[in-house]
């Protein structure tokens, strides 16, 4: 497992070159007889290499000008920071990625990679998501991880982070594929998740440590998310959403895609509804999804449900008025016909029983059934 001791500084150099696609790196390395050979290759022989564009050659030459100390610096930095480099030729390299169209040459990883033996599901979706979407993602993540499924996502704000947070809450494994170096926490708001992930899964990136999160890296990062997983679940996505890119990659790579359906007018469900229209699987409930994935229900869930049903009549009335989009006190008063004080009391007891969620000041939604 001690991969870091195994690779020399030239391997780090080759893996860190941003301009070359993974496949070309593999071929070049073979032709030059190792990364060191490629680093020391003369310009003349470099020109003779077939299949390199002018731009790529120029970048490669530029890369060669880096002094050896710098190469070594990167290697020691990775080792000191506990970042392992897993190369295409290593036995640890995920088999799932070998099959995709454009596999990354190397993966920088803090923690571990998703195990081959376990099912891996990507939970992805919009960054600016609704409280409902966040809840669904969190619960799916929670259940998946509870069944020993690896939850893969992009550690972004919104759905991605929520799914992973759910997985960690269940004490399971989750893997965050980043669009920047694994030593950078982006977005900064997910600091807690970022710090928890290495111990309960891993942080993965094809970009060398220190790479800033640039917008152009993120679509490419999505191919690794879908590549590392067997099934992709899109929870919420707008008409044009990065999550849909992940969905496209997944279809390209022959993975199964599921989407959470939504109401017709909801901007955040347009993308997912479209996916369903195009033939993606539909996420109807956790139980259904679980069957589709071939997982078996565990005991924990059934026991929680029974406790739920002991609501008083007035509480049930208030609860029945709530749904998954936030409602404020005025709307609830109009619907239930209760006065402010009556409503307050019922909301307070429902809150104590954990049946509702206050998503914004005095705006409530019903807590989704499971968990």
Phi/psi at 202 (nearest 5 deg)?
-170, 160
| Of the candidate residues 131, 168, 243, 356, the single one contacting other proteins (CB under 8 A) | 131
Shorter beta-carbon distance to other proteins: residue 19 or 363: 363
Rounded to the nearest angstrom, the gap between the alpha carbon of residue 278 and the centroid of all alpha carbons in its chain is 23
Site for other proteins in 187-206 (CB under 8 A): 187-190
Report the 10 Å Cβ neighbour count for 131. Answer: 18
Dist CA 332 CA 338 (whole Å) = 8
| Of the candidate residues 45, 53, 278, 328, the single one contacting other proteins (CB under 8 A) | 328
Shorter beta-carbon distance to other proteins: residue 46 or 329: 329
Q: Tokens 């169209």 — which residue?
A: 101
333 touches other proteins by CB under 8 A:
yes
Reading the block at residue 102, the tokens are 């454009």
Residue 361 CB, nearest approach to other proteins (Å):
6
Residue 224 CB, nearest approach to other proteins (Å):
23
Shorter beta-carbon distance to other proteins: residue 355 or 359: 359
Shorter beta-carbon distance to other proteins: residue 6 or 360: 360
Pairing of strands 201-205, 356-360: unpaired
Reading the block at residue 328, the tokens are 């404020």
Half-sphere exposure of 338 (CA within 13 A, CB side): 20
127 touches other proteins by CB under 8 A:
yes
Residue 234 CB, nearest approach to other proteins (Å):
16
Q: Which span (13-21, 107-115, 294-302, 324-332) binds other proteins, by CB under 8 A?
A: 324-332
Shorter beta-carbon distance to other proteins: residue 131 or 149: 131
Dist CA 20 CA 14 (whole Å) = 9
Q: Which residues contact 88 (CB under 8 A, 6 or more apart)?
A: 22, 25, 26, 98, 103, 104, 105, 106
Reading the block at residue 182, the tokens are 């694994």
| Of the candidate residues 311, 329, 368, 370, the single one contacting other proteins (CB under 8 A) | 329
Site for other proteins in 219-238 (CB under 8 A): 238
| Of the candidate residues 76, 340, 354, 369, the single one contacting other proteins (CB under 8 A) | 340
210 touches other proteins by CB under 8 A:
no
Residue 149 CB, nearest approach to other proteins (Å):
23
| Structural contact between residues 86 and 107, judged by C-beta atoms closer than 8 angstroms | yes
Kindly report the three-state secondary structure assignment for every residue of 52-71.
Answer: CCHHHHHHHHHHHCCCHHHH
Q: Which span (55-63, 86-94, 175-183, 336-344) binds other proteins, by CB under 8 A?
A: 336-344
Residues touching other proteins, count (CB under 8 A): 34
Shorter beta-carbon distance to other proteins: residue 11 or 315: 315
326 touches other proteins by CB under 8 A:
yes
Q: Report which secondary-structure segment, H or E, holds 84.
A: strand 84-87
Per-residue burial over 315-343, b if 16 or more Cβ lie within 10 Å, else e, is: beebbebbebebbeeeebeeebebeeeeb
- What three-state secondary structure class fits 364? strand
| Structural contact between residues 203 and 232, judged by C-beta atoms closer than 8 angstroms | no
Q: Which span (80-88, 98-106, 300-308, 334-342) binds other proteins, by CB under 8 A?
A: 334-342
65 touches other proteins by CB under 8 A:
no
260 touches other proteins by CB under 8 A:
no
355 touches other proteins by CB under 8 A:
no
| Of the candidate residues 91, 117, 303, 341, the single one contacting other proteins (CB under 8 A) | 341
Interface positions with other proteins (CB under 8 A): 127-131, 157-158, 161, 187-190, 238, 265-268, 326, 328-331, 333-334, 340-341, 344-345, 348, 359-363
């Amino acid at each position: 497992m001690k991969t870091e001791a195994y690779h020399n500084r030239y391997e780090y150099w080759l893996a860190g070159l941003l301009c070359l696609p993974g496949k070309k790196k593999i071929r070049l390395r073979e032709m030059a007889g190792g990364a060191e050979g490629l680093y020391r290759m003369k310009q003349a022989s470099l020109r003779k290499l077939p299949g390199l564009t002018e731009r790529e050659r120029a970048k490669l030459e530029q890369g060669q000008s880096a002094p050896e100390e710098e190469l070594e610096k990167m290697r020691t930095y990775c080792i000191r920071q506990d970042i392992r480099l897993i190369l295409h030729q290593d036995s640890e390299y995920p088999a799932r990625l070998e099959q995709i169209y454009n596999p990354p040459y190397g993966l920088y990883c803090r923690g571990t990679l998703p195990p081959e033996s376990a099912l891996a599901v990507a939970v992805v979706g919009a960054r600016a998501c609704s409280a409902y979407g966040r809840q669904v993602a969190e619960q799916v993540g929670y259940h998946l991880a509870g069944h020993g499924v690896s939850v893969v996502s992009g550690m972004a704000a919104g759905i991605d982070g929520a799914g992973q947070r759910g997985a960690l809450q269940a004490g399971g494994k989750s893997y965050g594929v980043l669009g920047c170096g694994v030593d950078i926490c982006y977005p900064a708001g997910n600091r807690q998740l970022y710090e928890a992930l290495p111990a309960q899964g891993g942080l993965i990136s094809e970009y060398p440590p220190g790479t800033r999160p640039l917008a152009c890296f993120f679509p490419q990062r999505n191919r690794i998310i879908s590549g590392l997983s067997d099934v992709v679940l899109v929870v919420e996505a707008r008409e044009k959403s990065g999550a849909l890119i992940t969905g496209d990659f997944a279809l390209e790579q022959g993975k199964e895609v599921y989407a959470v359906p939504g109401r017709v007018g909801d901007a955040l469900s347009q993308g997912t509804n479209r996916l369903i229209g195009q033939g993606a699987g539909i996420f109807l409930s956790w139980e259904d999804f679980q069957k589709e994935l071939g997982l078996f229900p565990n005991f924990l869930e059934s026991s929680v449900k029974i406790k739920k049903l002991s609501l008083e009549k007035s509480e049930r009335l208030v609860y029945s008025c709530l749904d998954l989009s936030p409602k404020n006190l005025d709307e609830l008063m109009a619907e239930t016909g209760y006065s402010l004080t009556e409503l307050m009391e019922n909301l307070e007891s429902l809150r104590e029983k954990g049946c509702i969620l206050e998503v914004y000041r005095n705006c409530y939604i019903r807590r989704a059934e499971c968990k």
